[in-house]
Amino acid sequence: MPTPPRTRTVPAALRPGDRVAVAAPAGPPDPDLLDRGTALLASWGLEVTVLPHVRDSYLGHLAGRDEDRAADLTAACTDPGIRAVLCARGGYGTQRMVDLVDWQAIAAAPAPALLVGSSDITALHEAFAARLGTTTLHAPMPATGALVDRPESADHLRTVLFEPEKATELPLTGEVLVPGTARGRLAGGNASLLAASVGTPTALPPDGCLLLLEETGEEPYRLDRILTQLTRSGTLARAAGIVLGDFTDCGPEDEVRAVLADRLGGLGIPVAAGLPAGHGQLQLTVPLGIRAELGKGVLTLLEPPLAPRDGRGRPTAEEAACAS
């Protein structure tokens, strides 16, 4: 296991005119959705670069060869002109390329690029935290209907990117499985990806964190297996609280609820459901690595998701000092 960086780096908020890159670390994006997503980003005033291998295909389920997808991400994250890297979609394949990324080169870059994505991109969220100590955004992605066909999701991502000081709360509209209040840094993402990362070099133990869990397409018995693996590894026991996002297409709601209550209810920490994040129709942006408080009916962000910027478009000196 890598030793987590002692300091935390918060990428800066975006401004119109900033250059961003679209990467495909996992599956090949639908060409029409990709074009619509890049057009949406451009409509926000961003200069969008689609990385060289995004439109590639390998083995039918990967957006190009592992080394090419890793090279795209390395190049984007070491380019001082690129402010953010938005992952086109999830699917499968991020774990195949994550260890091929040149993390030393990215760590040596003068300013961190912001990583944006969800689903299979959970493997990169873990790696950015473990290798770089950088906060990231668990968010809807450009080549998905969750962004291009859902104005509410797009508006929330835009607010977090451009006006992070306005993103102070996230609603919890579901059941409170275990009552209580907890504080910690947000971590996590897709439950099956977190389970698959256990024992790998980039799995980051979430000691004292607020752990986000969401899932899609896993029947209740498979969801049970995923949560059991996270329990046996000690991952869940180290969290201060658990925030449940969407569990989309995972079977009958009562069965899913029963599995979640059985596997999470005895941990002795607060567990609350109903955060619109993951694979549901509405996908809000959740900043990972940011301190937050889990309370009844709301997840309160205790610091802005992104750093403020001065007139030169860089993090302010005050923020840079607070990022550690």
Positions marked catalytic:
119, 214, 279
- The pair of structure tokens assigned to 172 is 């919890």
Q: Of 41, 60, 46, 55, give the one whose Cα is nearest residue 18.
A: 46
Nearest to 13 by CA among 299, 292, 285: 285
State the amino acid at position 323 in one-letter form.
A
β-bridge mates for residue 49, sequence order: 21
With tokens 């987590």, the residue in question is 4
- Can you tell me the distance from the alpha carbon of 95 to that of 323, in angstroms, rounded to the nearest whole number? 28
Nearest to residue 144, comparing CAs of 320, 310, 281? 281
Beta strands per DSSP E along the chain: 19-23, 47-50, 82-87, 114-117, 136-138, 169-171, 176-178, 182-190, 210-216, 241-248, 271-273, 286-288, 291-295, 298-301
Q: What is the largest CA-CA distance in the chain?
A: 53
Task: Single out the residue of 148, 197, 156, 180 nearest to residue 34, CA to CA.
Answer: 148
User: Tokens 């992952």 identify what position?
Assistant: 87
Q: Are 315 and 285 in contact (CB under 8 A)?
A: no
In the block, residue with structure tokens 């990583």 = 115
Type of residue found at 54 = V
Count H helices, E strands: the chain?
11, 14
